[in-house]
Structure 1
């Protein structure tokens, strides 16, 4: 454009100059000469040629500079270090604290560093013995014993007195003998429980971790910015309460290792008394473990008040003494790869310590740990219904030996942002007060506390239980969103839910890249980097041939439709979908399910709502498959209620219905469904505008609610969208099948009662029968944990009744449901979500 304008200006100037020369000639000679005109034309042509040459040189020079200069970096989003921030609604002050000092370091190591690597020091000794030198230079801490302070506590004295009077009443012995017996038992409980943390032993074990872990772990990755955040939290002087998810026995070793090597006081760790085995029990006690009962059962029909009081006093006095605490909010290790529902016992004690003024405040730090391959084996035996084997010295040695012989890839540890216990308690208390004052806001799904928690309704009022439960569920939800995604999780998820019948390596790479980009765009913690094909090959190597089969196959194709053929060799990848291998593979897949759970819920609810239309040839031909928003939301809420013991769908401070609507809007944005706008005639629009002038607020609210209820969505029938929906629906199918079989077995329970173990075996037998008959398509449906969770659901629905008989759960149907017709209604409610779509 510039060239054209400039050329045009030159022409105008040349014409004007030529006319001026002609006029000058006329003025001097008063006549036109042919030589003058010819000279003017030559000058004009010469100037144009010169101008074109100058422009040509300028363009060539610019092209040369563009070619030789360095290319500008693409405008892509730079990866920053991952950090799961605390809730902005519940803990806004905590969200703005501590992170300011570490933001500068977030860009330095966005993928983390291997903490098993230590740089040699400047001295000769530190170069030869770098691990010993580094560990010995770590800060030394004292871990004082508080045994006598606990025995002198007034609450414990009162509990001893009550226990002694109960003994006198029940056994008829003398008061002195009963008091002596109660005191002796209290001291014995405390000695068996308490930790004997040793700084020297901690440093020895830290050195052993440096030496032994690289034998079977490729690297242990932690973000330096998160370690800096942990140090800043430690500098506040408040007790730190570490709340990790529990996947492996290596969890607490890794956390203690990181605390010691970063000069932070090691926490006291709540451990199950099943780990109190020869040598290893002593070792764990020296590393900070204090042993508690996995379940606090009634004693002679009454609560074990003495044990509970000692445990409560022990935790409180340690917090008062400045110790940090660590306990697994799930209770035990997850058997399915998904976080378990929280156990609230220890958290309730810590909350009591704050409420009664024992501590001013505490910083709660959720921690998520994930492994490319689980270090201490799998839980397949237990999921198939076999009893758990108790830990012994021999079994521990065998497990360690097999671990050293294995290859387990990468371990990733994520520390979430610390938040103030005091701030969260005040927020939830304010919400409870608002609810009691008659707030019109809807309440999210509420969940009953676990039967194995320390306290029951006879000890703590309902508001306190709900407060503890809300905090625990908030922590587990945040941890489920911060769990590092390993390459094995993503590969297993794709193989089980998209390529169950097998695929080529190219197809797997394409699907892997698509989900990886989506996860990175949503700022999820993707714990791998590099080329997709290399990551997949690494994951397949870690999973091994027992879980994934790889075969090289020769494919013959015709060339250009003639008689010549071309042979290509491709790698076919197929998951091992037979029992028991598929159950172990599903363990790794379930970690990814956490990120797609709401999408899967909405798609499954959509299938259940549209089952009368979605396979109808007439509706498909007319491309008119629609669903009302209100019906879809209600279906999704019902499915969330069914799976309430499998997942935590939202934070306690959020409305579940709003989360479902957000997911629906996301599907609209992706084009999977489209919102249908209602068309109005001109007269109808005029009537609506006219009537609006006379509507009061109540009519407006009614009209708004009516318009919301009339919102309708149309389903997209494109192959791309159908494939995506089927992928999301498949992810939940194993759980739906398990719950459906469990509900079917309720009809077999009419008029009889069964202990928990026998009832579980009957459901497992039903699932096996359905697997053989191809009624159930996924082998991972054969799993004990979802079956037990379904029993909890039926108890919550008041369908099942449970009572304890000699420490054994006995199940039977409630009187109103002890009829086959009524139990079939329960089955139909769940089976509606089992319906599948004919994708052909």
Structure 2
């Protein structure tokens, strides 16, 4: 934890200390009533008027986030040591005359335009870029192979074949147009967001790296198309080089395409609706790789977004790594960017001129909704990560090798290794290379993608709406009073800060809860009566409302992933005890304990080895981005068990001994010397290998905390269970898109029949579940000319094997 400086950029946002120190149990929302005339909420809270539109944020103390990995890139981390950081925040939308060189009444009204005109814009030469890209060996080889002509005749077919990609190659940055577009974005975002807070912790280091000539590549996890606009705007307002932004957007209007391409936006080709369609073109990947090479050689900066569900966008990182490997580019510095929204804006990947004009008109007549927090992490060397050998991928195995022996053969011991997820970087996407890459090379590229997804997610701040959404969805599904909600918000905030997770809010507890509920009001049912001073809040039982809360709560799950995995492992062992009905005590040696009498208490002894194996098996089923890629699965499983000890759910059992451990002379036998050629010789012959065991803690809050942690992963596990069940109803083989669509439809139908668990039927959840079952060998892939077709593998066409898989996954569902 570090002390934050209260300079000019954030002093107006800090609430008085008497509000910050208000006790959690004494805070309650005074009254909430439903208006009869409309569906909006009328709040009667004694708070300042500006707190109704601007969230309280930026407390006195907060953790430092965004430091690069000490294991994979220690040299990059060492450069940070000894440098003082500002530890402040800057609101991009708070532009005043102090940020210009002028003063006066007229300046205060034109300060935004003056500020934009004073920002530095770097030149972007594109004089002979098209010629350099066309003359690259990658492009020549593809054109030669398609034309079936000698190398000297390549130029004849270039104009017609390259015509759809010429505008992408000619993407540039016009200083005048960039200033105008930045001014429009500042004015537009002022109507969309209450504030855009930028963490200044690593900005000084980014300035230093830019002055030294380092090639910077900004990487963020995709949430919305707005991400692609926020990062260039942040860099522009802080006098850093504006990046060439890779945006998976299909713009139908030629006028909009020309504007975006003149401010550095690399769009999809006009003929492709999605990234998959663009990558299917044999010429697209070589041209884009050559374009990236020329941009980096010019000293330009690139911004890339990566999807945690599908891995889309990771091919750009693979292209950069391939350029470094072949020596075209000396090195690049990767900068993870964490972007957090109070409410993620909904956007469409296909945009027309009429759509943009209608959206601009609509935002001018509505109040700002929510804030944004942006964290620029510390840059680290990609070459250091790849060539140092610290990023190990030699233990990566297919998921079916890791789990199928346990699922089908009931093996108790696990196969140690990391899950290989090659689908994050399909072979046809790999850096314009025509030949299949070896597993270690592709694994290393996938490891870089996973590392950046994890790093960008780790430096994302937890917004107040995310915190409240997680409490309502995972702990108080049946409703909660506002006083209890305030108490839990204070508790969960402390837990997040304890885990070195930054939060995107601060100030008085009542104001934080009020602000969150006002933004989440469409997803909630708030019951209040004049006679009741403590309103009751229930999540709205609908598909749209639950998916919105689940999307907001994902970042909290990332922060508690260790505890959630450990809690699900404990729940699986407890369910096994309950189902067996044999004993209320379970020991590592299998000796039965006391008989069950009435309701079983939590007087259960859990073996560490078995508990760790359950956690290890579960971590293989997690979506990408949850497990640190530089940490082994075994270490992650051990940390998951230890985390339950730290939070008080498990306590280590005291094993009584007749003989002290340190008394070697009273053990059976005597210490003897052994010859060096003895095959059974070991330096630890004198040591006694003790297996630890744990007991469930007895405090009254332990079961509630255990179920709260288990429910964080229940949505993902339930999606897997429903997907396995839905395989019986699908006629296969089917194209991949149609297969996922049918699974998604089945998940929605199942949730509607049950009238609950809607968080398990999102499109992202369906896509992730299908990918997991493909890796597990349940669903087979067949590549044909028409695309990828999915079907059920012969092994799991047997209902018995599907039932075993369903039982294996459902054991981690606490209910």
1:428 Cα deviation from its structure 2 partner: 3.2
Matches within 5 A, 1:96-107: 96-98=78-80, 100-103=82-85, 105-106=86-87
Larger helix proportion, structure 1 or 2? 1
Matched, 1:424 2:370: no
Matches within 5 A, 1:74-153: 79-80=61-62, 82-98=64-80, 100-103=82-85, 105-106=86-87, 109=88, 112-120=90-98, 121-124=101-104, 126-145=107-126, 146-153=129-136
Counterpart position of 2:542: 578
Name the TM-score, length of structure 2 as normaliser.
0.80
Match of 1:610 among 559, 574, 578: 574
**Range with greater deviation from structure 2 (114-123 or 476-485):** 114-123
Q: Which consecutive residues of structure 2, in runs of 5 or more, have no partner in the other structure? A: 1-19, 22-58, 398-414, 585-595
Matches within 5 A, 1:532-571: 532-544=509-521, 546-553=522-529, 568-571=532-535
Q: Residues of 2 paired with 1:570 and 1:579: CA distance? A: 27
Aligned 8 A contact 2:63 2:500 in 1: no
Match of 1:410 among 371, 374, 381: 371
Residues 222-264 of structure 1 deviation map (CA, whole Å, 9 limit, x = unaligned): 1233322321221120111111222222222221112222222
Counterpart position of 2:194: 218
Q: Which consecutive residues of structure 1, in runs of 5 or more, have no partner in the other structure? A: 1-72, 169-174, 331-337, 378-387, 555-566
Matched, 1:254 2:230: yes
1:596 Cα deviation from its structure 2 partner: 1.4
Change (3 A) 1:480 1:176: closer
Aligned 8 A contact 1:553 1:572 in 2: no
Counterpart position of 2:422: 448
Counterpart position of 2:241: 265
Matches within 5 A, 1:693-732: 693=672, 707=689, 710-732=691-713
Aligned 8 A contact 1:272 1:292 in 2: yes
1:809 Cα deviation from its structure 2 partner: 4.1
1:523 Cα deviation from its structure 2 partner: 2.5
Matched, 1:484 2:461: yes
Q: Residues of 1 paired with 2:803 and 2:434: CA distance? A: 33
3-state secondary structure, aligned to 1:373: coil
Counterpart position of 2:450: 473
Change (3 A) 1:87 1:689: farther
Counterpart position of 1:746: 727
Match of 1:393 among 339, 353, 359: 353
Counterpart position of 1:832: 811
Change (3 A) 1:295 1:359: same
Q: Residues of 2 paired with 1:340 and 1:605: CA distance? A: 27
1:361 Cα deviation from its structure 2 partner: 1.6
Counterpart position of 2:172: 196
1:191 Cα deviation from its structure 2 partner: 2.9
Counterpart position of 1:321: 298
1:135 Cα deviation from its structure 2 partner: 1.7
3-state secondary structure, aligned to 1:569: coil
Residues 197-244 of structure 1 deviation map (CA, whole Å, 9 limit, x = unaligned): 211111111222332321221111112333223212211201111112
1:122 Cα deviation from its structure 2 partner: 3.3
Counterpart position of 1:63: none
1:804 Cα deviation from its structure 2 partner: 4.6
**Range with greater deviation from structure 2 (631-640 or 157-166):** 157-166
1:588 Cα deviation from its structure 2 partner: 0.9
3-state secondary structure, aligned to 1:553: coil
Q: Residues of 1 paired with 2:680 and 2:654: CA distance? A: 24
3-state secondary structure, aligned to 2:457: helix
Counterpart position of 1:733: 714
Residues 13-55 of structure 1 deviation map (CA, whole Å, 9 limit, x = unaligned): xxxxxxxxxxxxxxxxxxxxxxxxxxxxxxxxxxxxxxxxxxx
Residues 444-471 of structure 1 deviation map (CA, whole Å, 9 limit, x = unaligned): 3332143373457834332221221111
**Range with greater deviation from structure 2 (223-232 or 308-317):** 223-232
Aligned 8 A contact 1:161 1:179 in 2: no
Match of 1:814 among 793, 797, 800: 793
Residues 83-119 of structure 1 deviation map (CA, whole Å, 9 limit, x = unaligned): 310011111111121564443x22xx3x554553233
1:736 Cα deviation from its structure 2 partner: 1.5
1:808 Cα deviation from its structure 2 partner: 5.2
Residues 680-732 of structure 1 deviation map (CA, whole Å, 9 limit, x = unaligned): 32499655375555578956588799836x32211234321011001111222
Matches within 5 A, 1:288-307: 288-292=264-268, 294-295=274-275, 304-307=281-284
Aligned 8 A contact 1:344 1:449 in 2: no
Aligned 8 A contact 1:368 1:479 in 2: yes
Q: Residues of 2 paired with 1:623 and 1:459: CA distance? A: 53
Q: Residues of 1 paired with 2:395 and 2:570: CA distance? A: 34
Residues 403-457 of structure 1 deviation map (CA, whole Å, 9 limit, x = unaligned): 4425322111100000112211122378468999xxxx96433321433734578
Aligned 8 A contact 2:64 2:500 in 1: yes
Q: Residues of 1 paired with 2:687 and 2:423: CA distance? A: 35
Counterpart position of 1:53: none
3-state secondary structure, aligned to 2:791: strand
Q: Residues of 2 paired with 1:815 and 1:427: CA distance? A: 42
Q: Residues of 2 paired with 1:115 and 1:86: CA distance? A: 29
Counterpart position of 2:289: 312
Aligned 8 A contact 2:191 2:363 in 1: no
Counterpart position of 1:59: none
Aligned 8 A contact 2:720 2:769 in 1: yes
Residues 727-747 of structure 1 deviation map (CA, whole Å, 9 limit, x = unaligned): 111222222211101011234
Change (3 A) 1:764 1:584: same
TM-align CA RMSD: 3.4
Aligned 8 A contact 2:140 2:154 in 1: no
Q: Residues of 1 paired with 2:396 and 2:670: CA distance? A: 36
3-state secondary structure, aligned to 2:148: helix
Counterpart position of 2:402: none
Counterpart position of 1:384: none
Q: Residues of 2 paired with 1:820 and 1:371: CA distance? A: 44
1:177 Cα deviation from its structure 2 partner: 8.9
Q: Residues of 1 paired with 2:371 and 2:256: CA distance? A: 25
Residues 333-372 of structure 1 deviation map (CA, whole Å, 9 limit, x = unaligned): xxxxx77646431111111222222222211111111111
**Which protein shows a greater Rg?**
1
Q: Residues of 2 paired with 1:228 and 1:189: CA distance? A: 37
Counterpart position of 2:6: none
1:666 Cα deviation from its structure 2 partner: 2.5
Change (3 A) 1:187 1:607: same
Q: Residues of 2 paired with 1:220 and 1:662: CA distance? A: 35
Counterpart position of 2:327: 357
Counterpart position of 1:380: none
Match of 2:557 among 590, 593, 602: 593
Counterpart position of 2:775: 796
Counterpart position of 2:4: none
Aligned 8 A contact 1:370 1:486 in 2: yes
Aligned 8 A contact 2:190 2:368 in 1: no
Counterpart position of 1:374: 344
Q: Which has the higher contact order (CA 8 A, sep 6+)?
A: 2
1:657 Cα deviation from its structure 2 partner: 1.7
3-state secondary structure, aligned to 1:272: coil
Aligned 8 A contact 1:553 1:571 in 2: yes
**Range with greater deviation from structure 2 (254-263 or 503-512):** 254-263
Q: Residues of 2 paired with 1:233 and 1:412: CA distance? A: 23
- Number of aligned residue pairs: give it: 710
1:651 Cα deviation from its structure 2 partner: 2.5
Change (3 A) 1:430 1:590: closer
1:607 Cα deviation from its structure 2 partner: 1.1
Name the TM-score, length of structure 1 as normaliser.
0.77
1:510 Cα deviation from its structure 2 partner: 0.2
Aligned 8 A contact 1:344 1:454 in 2: no
1:399 Cα deviation from its structure 2 partner: 3.5
